[in-house]
Chains A and B, each alone.
Chain A
């Protein structure tokens, strides 16, 4: 069981970006996947979760409207997307899977390796 994330990105303010998280070794459609941000020198922040089976998505109020979470169950991949990046989006982004199937009363047991996003002019 693993989650493999796309590689590091260097972008300019105003650019768009879509990073990915591919699951393997388990039934991808049946486990919620979440995204977690860690800005330089700070702690972990939950951004949102998606259920790949039906694309049900829940966002943290702090990130609602700033990012888009999606998934393509046919290729076992979840995505985190920005339409217009800001310097303050510079951070490490992790995807992570819930421990058990279906329920939202769960936490994350399997984590991706992280994708570093740097936004600088």
Chain B
């Protein structure tokens, strides 16, 4: 099975900060990686697909990069609505494994 490891598990930041979350795959997943935002009481929301493609309607302050085994999600300038938990997900080879999540908290 492909394992996905996110870091950090928790991140404290302030409005306006630039933040980066890292996701590592246990084997090469090419560019088959997505990022989701999840808030309590809501369904997860797709932000990025195919490692770096921005989903329609998602603000441009979100960006993704990487390929192979190492990927990053960057939020260029944190907004109050961005405090949530973020998950990466790989979708290669009929497997759809999520990372353990990164909780983004207000400093």
Given A94-B43, A113-B43, CB of A107 within 8 Å of CB of B49:
yes
Q: How many B residues touch the partner, as a band?
A: 20 to 34
Given A44-B38, A44-B87, A107-B89, CB of A60 within 8 Å of CB of B95:
yes
Task: Report which of B1, B34, B43, B98 forms a contact with A45, defined as CB distance below 8 A.
Answer: B98
Chain A 93-108: CB-based contact to B (< 8 A → 1; otherwise 0): 0101001000011111
Task: Report which of B43, B46, B85, B101 forms a contact with A107, defined as CB distance below 8 A.
Answer: B46
Q: Which of B23-72 contact A (CB under 8 A)?
A: 32, 34, 36, 38, 43-46, 49, 55
Q: How many A residues touch the partner, as a band?
A: 20 to 34
Chain B 76-102: CB-based contact to A (< 8 A → 1; otherwise 0): 000000000101010110111111110
Nearest CB to that of A43 among chain B residues? B101
Q: Which of B1-39 contact A (CB under 8 A)?
A: 1, 32, 34, 36, 38
Contact between chains at A94 and B95 (CB < 8 Å): no
Contact between chains at A49 and B44 (CB < 8 Å): no
Q: How far is the CB of B98 from chain A (nearest CB, A)?
A: 4
Further contacts, 4 of them, CB under 8 A, given A45-B98, A60-B96, A105-B91: A44-B36, A44-B44, A44-B87, A60-B95
